[in-house]
């Protein structure tokens, strides 16, 4: 199906299915992130774009199961668009009780999928096949599910190498981590203490019909019924930002004091940058190599009425951007596999390859070595990754400390796991504070 194919039906669900197909193709065939694909979706309005996004996220959270079911139901080659369409439908039909699946009664979904198949290549010819596959699954649902879920990849919705790596790294928690990866994350906000306290912000949310609850001891707030953030009170006034509670810990751990000179390396999209500035009046330089993502940093700072120097550069090449004056604090939020934020970005688990872990570990090592000389004696560097792999966390820091005698670990490193418990409903992050002696 061409991405520019006009819709042949005005039925809302059929149109949503049709528009979700090319998104899935962009991720699975072209290796594009889901966020990048969503930025170019053909959805006609915000409501439909939200529906397409929900459907794409849901499908990726149940992708392996849907693919296993499809393989058991069809023993002939399918064109990519038909394959993706059936995968989306089966992901919905297989996930009993899920928020997305409850939106669409099985027979309604089947009928709308058949209607959407007319937009596929050779649509009239595949219409009967699509109808037959889905109705066979509904008749034999339980036995088909039992058979498919015997396979670990379908059971845990992850490649085998990812499952094995999680088992090795976290033998006592691997099942809970993989289960959490398939859950829809909460909408977590950070109250901007320069505008309002958390209590004041929560009162405003509740008064305007947005039930919420506090998470952790500081600024984190979970909105019980997620909705577009622009619809929440105080957005344009900078009363809050969207940020996972685990990510909110970075600014506190960095412990910036007023007047300090601070570097935020790999700063985009700017959540941690803004949080640092909300907590302390400091001279902050935000560096990022991605111009488009750096633009988001600037936009976020403008909305929050905060100021920082933003620099478009690769942080590892310090000669290109550093002015020679040492920093009191450095935040290195290093590029990583993002294995700790799969529940927010379910495409990650299918875009990553096993070799990426070691490749990214080399980049992290290079950044640590490049930025360490920029820190004042007595200054602190906070190393952070949104990863659960030890090679990107504890092992990386242990090796760095051995290479640099003037580097001293301040307290024990922190590894947050994405377990989605009531008290710790956060993503996976690693933090290590290092002081220069």
Active site residues: 386
Q: What are the residues whose beta carbons fall under 8 Å from the beta carbon of 402, sequence distance 6 or more?
A: none
| 106 membership: H or E segment, kind and range | helix 106-116
Per the document, the length of the chain is: 437
Q: For residues 343 and 57, what is the distance between their CA atoms, to the nearest angstrom?
A: 9
List beta partners, residue 189: 221, 242
Q: Are 52 and 76 in contact (CB under 8 A)?
A: no
Q: Are 55 and 100 in contact (CB under 8 A)?
A: yes
* 324-349 as b/e: b if 16+ CB within 10 A: eeebbbbbbbbbbbbbbbbbbbbbbb
Q: For residues 282 and 258, what is the distance between their CA atoms, to the nearest angstrom?
A: 5
For residue 330, give the nearest of 287, 270, 389 by alpha carbon. 287
Q: Can you read off the two tokens belonging to residue 224?
A: 């019980």
**Could you check whether the bond before residue 269 is cis, i.e. omega within 30 degrees of 0?**
yes
Q: Are 311 and 285 in contact (CB under 8 A)?
A: yes
Q: What are the residues whose beta carbons fall under 8 Å from the beta carbon of 80, sequence distance 6 or more?
A: 25, 29
């Amino acid at each position: 199906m061409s991405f520019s194919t006009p819709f042949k039906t005005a039925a809302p669900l059929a149109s949503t299915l049709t528009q979700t197909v090319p998104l899935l193709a962009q991720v699975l065939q072209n290796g594009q992130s889901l966020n990048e694909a969503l930025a170019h979706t053909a959805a006609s309005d915000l409501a439909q774009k939200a529906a397409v996004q929900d459907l794409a996220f849901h499908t990726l959270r149940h992708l392996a199961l849907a693919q296993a079911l499809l393989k058991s139901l069809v023993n002939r080659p399918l064109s990519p668009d038909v394959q993706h369409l059936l995968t989306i439908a089966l992901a919905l039909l297989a996930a009993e009780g899920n928020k997305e699946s409850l939106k669409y009664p099985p027979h309604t979904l089947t009928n709308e999928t058949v209607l959407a198949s007319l937009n596929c290549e050779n649509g009239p010819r595949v219409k009967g096949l699509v109808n037959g596959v889905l109705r066979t699954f509904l008749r034999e649902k339980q036995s088909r599910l039992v058979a498919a879920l015997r396979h670990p990849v379908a059971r845990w919705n992850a490649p085998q190498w990812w499952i094995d790596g999680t088992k090795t790294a976290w033998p006592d928690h691997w099942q809970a981590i993989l289960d959490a990866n398939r859950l829809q994350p909460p909408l977590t906000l950070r109250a901007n203490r320069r505008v309002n306290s958390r209590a004041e912000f929560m009162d405003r949310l509740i008064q305007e019909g947005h039930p919420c609850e506090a998470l952790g001891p500081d600024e984190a707030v979970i909105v019980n019924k997620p909705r577009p953030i622009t619809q929440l009170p105080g957005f344009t006034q900078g009363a809050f930002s969207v940020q996972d509670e685990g990510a909110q810990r970075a600014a506190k751990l960095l412990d910036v004091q007023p007047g300090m000179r601070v570097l935020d390396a790999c700063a985009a999209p700017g959540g941690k940058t803004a949080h640092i500035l909300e907590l302390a009046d400091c001279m902050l330089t935000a560096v990022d190599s991605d111009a488009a993502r750096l633009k988001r940093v600037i936009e976020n700072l403008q909305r929050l009425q905060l100021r920082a120097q933003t620099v478009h550069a690769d942080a590892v090449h310090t000669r290109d951007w550093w002015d020679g004056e040492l920093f009191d604090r450095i935040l290195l939020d290093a590029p990583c596999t993002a294995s700790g934020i799969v529940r927010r970005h379910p495409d990650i688990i299918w875009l990553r390859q096993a070799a990426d872990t070691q490749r990214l570990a080399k980049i992290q090592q290079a950044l640590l070595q490049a930025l360490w000389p920029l820190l004042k004696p007595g200054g602190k560097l906070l190393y952070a990754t949104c990863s659960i792999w030890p090679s990107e966390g504890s092992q990386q820091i242990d090796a760095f400390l051995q290479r640099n005698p003037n580097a001293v670990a301040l307290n024990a490193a922190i590894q947050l796991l994405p377990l989605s418990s009531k008290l710790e409903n956060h993503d996976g992050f690693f933090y290590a504070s290092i002081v220069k002696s």
